[in-house]
Structure 1
Amino acid sequence: MTHLLPDRVLVANRGEIARRVIATCRRLGVGSVAVHHAVDAGLPFVQEADIAHEITGDVPVKAYLDGAQLIEVAKATGATAVHPGYGFLAENADFARQVVDAGLTWIGPSPDAIRTMGDKVESRRVVAAHGVPVSGGADDALASVDEAVAEATRIGYPVIVKASGGGGGIGMAVAHDEEQLRKVFESTRSLAERSFGSDRVFVER
């Protein structure tokens, strides 16, 4: 099978992550575009790319999360593909869709796959439907602590309360009994909302 390489890739990330993508582009003979906030202008990844373009934001993270700005830079610099690295917008299905809709190549899972796998409740349902074993737990997000207690009673303690939209270990708490579960349920929902913009949680054996 022949794989067509893009002429130039915009790397929608920073630091060591961006350096690795840029190095791979160079090895493959593909051009690279580094985007950088002003505070990162002197970092190695900016110097190592074929093209460097400053992006703006009140704080650096806002610049790297500004999908519309990144797509504008890709078009302005002649990039035909976007590589998100990991973190930032790498797991943002809406950004992936915007890249594709802009006529650019998205280097990563499809927007639909990102959306499905970004929600643990939905991803558990999808893989279970395809015969993949999943650990005992709720088949849907839990709306109240009483639902959580009922589910934990059904599957048995100890249980872990997980943020459906979470990642990196954020939004998880272990409960060894009903008393602990009642204590951690609302705090986990609150942390999930603050961290991921969704308070959907479930329990798992």
Structure 2
Amino acid sequence: MKITRINVRRKPQQSRAKFTQDALMDSFVQLLLEKEAAQITIREITDLAGVGLGTFYEYFSQKEDLLALTIHHYVQRNALALQHSCETALKQNIPLKTYIHSLIHVQIEAIAEQSHLWQKLFLLERHISNIDMYQKHYLQHVHAWCFALKQHPRHTEINIEWLALNIHRISYGFISQSLMVNLEIPDWKKLEQDIQIALSGCI
């Protein structure tokens, strides 16, 4: 079933409500590491989260909405992590090319730490997200790269939008396809080297 938009019945305004919504997402993620999404029931999610079925339906109309929100949460967190890592990289006073490679390294490290989860999230996104949602997530990362590139002192010498798009095209393509196509977790060091080689024509 393709999700055209994330339908959240109750948007958490208070910390307690946010805690409940996060608990439902965390429970789904924990179950997703053990089985396929189609096998996970709402009852299993609520039991693990320690809430009742009624509480689930206060927030979501169906399981797919929770799935879509979870994917969105992880994509958003990944994009924000890229932005936050800029400050650390800039302290090293490094050339633009090295700066970009260091940010890609941070991004790969974050995904490698949760390889099995990202493998399932990439596959799940293609199963439940329609084109509009997919494009939104894609552009979110491109914008994050635009932000990162603008922080570097040499940013005026480059076409930021073009370079940001191509960095994400290459890094996202290499990472997501390596996880989705192969059953085994990739050699992350080799994958990072391949991304750097592919990017050499853009930087």
- Do they fold alike, i.e. is TM over 0.5? no
Q: TM-score, normalised by structure 1?
A: 0.27
Bigger proportion of residues as helix = 2
Bigger proportion of residues as strand = 1
Report which structure shows greater RCO (CA 8 Å, sep ≥6): 2
Q: TM-score, normalised by structure 2?
A: 0.27
